[in-house]
Amino acid sequence: MIDAREIAGEPVLTIDRVTVVGGGAWGTALALAAARAGRDTVLVVRDAAVAEAINTRRENPARLPGLVLDPPIHATTDLATIAGADAVILAVPAQATRSAAEVLAPFLSPGTPVVLAAKGIERASGALLADVLAEAAPGAVAAVLSGPSFAVDVARGLPTAVTIACADGAIADALAAALASLAFRPYASTDVVGVEVGGALKNVLAIACGIVVGRGLGASAQAALTARAFAEMGRLAAALGGRPETVTGLSGLGDLVLTASSRQSRNFSCGIALGEGRPLSDHGPLVEGALTAPVAAALATTLGVELPITAAVAAVVEGRLSIDAAIEGLLARPLKRE
């Protein structure tokens, strides 16, 4: 139940029951985070075999092999459990957000916070995911969770800090408090756009940084590209109404530093493979940066925002430009003041 309580003299909302939708590594990790924070947590999955493994063997062997789910979490395939939730975390791929939201919408009580845990921009519409949720489940209150976080680290209980944004600051505070524990530290924000842009664009830019590594261009080039990539993130966020300080925080710079430097990152690893001459298909369908790059580049063109690195990644993943030509094009850009 959501109710009002007094903490340090200030009225706040509390969230006791959390339902996580999505049985992948990230959904499982976030369900563990909620359970460790003391919430009554349910994980909704599509596959009955996954639910059985989580409930009886305390593991998700397909997504988090070898990791004991501690504390135990309850998994189900029954979407009706959403109806009793104070908050829902939607942990499905970015491009599946609309269809998933449409399925869960009939079970949501009006005003229920739905936390979007994916990072991307919808390809079909060019819309940020909070806008997609508003169309697909108009009774929900959109929130976004983003920041430097690998699912396996969160699942293992390693220290992690993220940002949770909602236009309603009281709900953002309540969600942060509901998920907070000694190992998982959420920071509340009201800048939904800034948080979403940081999360979406860092995947694209991590591919670019991976290409630099895969091509063997050196640490200096990687550092320079990361800095210029961060500038692109800030430009797009500002054009869409995000705040500059958001992009310099966890969901922007923090996530970019992690994703653009670690081989645990699917996007960075994909970039390395591309730089080494391997095809994009080797990395499967869930490289969010490859899906987001073309729509982010198109959005930037519409807004009149310069995103040369993003545009180069889009051209490479769509097969319109070779990696060598993309690198040459970036290096040949006119000199300008920083």
Distance CA 119, CA 147 (A): 10
Q: Where in the chain do CATH 1.10.1040.10 domains reside? A: 198-331
pLDDT attached to residue 337: 77
Chain-centroid distance, C-alpha 290? 14
pLDDT attached to residue 336: 80
Q: Where in the chain do CATH 3.40.50.720 domains reside? A: 3-190
Mean pLDDT of the residues in the chain: 93
Helix axes 266-275, 288-303, angle to 10 degrees: 90
Q: Which residues are catalytic?
A: 202
Least Cα distance to 290 among 257, 275, 263, 268 occurs for 268
Distance CA 79, CA 161 (A): 29
CATH number, domain 198-331, options 3.40.190.150, 3.30.1490.190, 1.10.1040.10, 3.30.930.10: 1.10.1040.10
Residue 144, helix vs strand vs coil: strand
Residue 307, helix vs strand vs coil: coil
pLDDT attached to residue 12: 56
pLDDT attached to residue 335: 81
Output b/e per residue, 185-224; b: 16+ Cβ within 10 A.
Answer: ebbbbbbbbbbbbbbbbbbbbbbbbbbbbbbeeeeebbee
Residue 186, helix vs strand vs coil: strand
pLDDT attached to residue 6: 42
pLDDT attached to residue 331: 87
Q: How far apart are the first and last CA of the chain?
A: 51
pLDDT attached to residue 4: 36
pLDDT attached to residue 11: 41
Task: Kindly give the parts of the chain with pLDDT less than 50.
Answer: 1-11
CATH number, domain 3-190, options 3.30.70.890, 3.30.710.10, 3.40.50.720, 3.30.420.40: 3.40.50.720
Residue 222, helix vs strand vs coil: helix
Residue found under tokens 């300080």 = 245
- Sorted by sequence, the CB contacts under 8 Å of residue 104 that are 6+ apart come out as 21, 79, 82, 88, 90, 114, 137
The secondary structure of 7-68, three-state, reads ECCEEEEECCEEEEECCCHHHHHHHHHHHHCCCEEEEECCCHHHHHHHHHHCCCCCCCCCCC
Q: Do you find a cis peptide bond into 71, omega within 30 degrees of 0?
A: yes
pTM given for the model: 0.94
